[in-house]
Each structure stands twice: as C-alpha cells, then as structure tokens.
Amino acid sequence: MKHKEQRMIDICVDEATNLCMQFNSKKCSVIRFGPRYHSQCADVTMLGNSIKLVNSVKLLGVQLSAY
C-alpha cells in the first residue's frame, strides 16, 4: 500500500497528464519541515524516478530551510 504522500504525487501526475502537461521529476525535490525534519521519511517517486530529499530549497528567490 502506498503512503499518503506518494498517493498525492500520483494524483498530481495523473491530473497533469489529463491537462496535457507533465512534471520534470529531475527538477523536483522533497523537503520536510518541523521538529521531525531530520527523521527518515519514505521514498517518493515520480514517473518511476526517485525524488531527492533535501534540507533546503530556493523557491521564487526565497531560500527555505528545514531547520
């Protein structure tokens, strides 16, 4: 059984496909916020590719950090 995060990714990919759009899984990443940011989480995949877990990400010019 898939975990809820993976199911949500799968739903987003399916909806994008219905709209003739696609995600670039190589440009995607997972970041975890909050007191459990350092805990291991389940692997997330998109289109058969594993999405990397990161501690920080730059989004619209703003640096977000898990800690």
Q: What is the mean pLDDT of each run of 10 residues along the chain (67 residues)?
A: 85 96 91 83 89 90 89
Interior/surface letters 30-41, b for 16+ CB within 10 angstroms, e for the rest: beeeeeeeeeee
Three-state SS at 13: helix
Alpha-carbon torsion (3, 15, 49, 60), positive or negative? negative
pLDDT at 1: 63
pLDDT at 19: 97
pLDDT at 22: 93
- Helix, strand, coil shares of the chain, percent, nearest 5, are 25, 30, 45
DSSP bridge pairs for 54: 31
* Domain of 42, in residue numbers: 4-65
The tally of domains found in the chain comes to 1
Q: Which two tokens stand for residue 16?
A: 């994008």
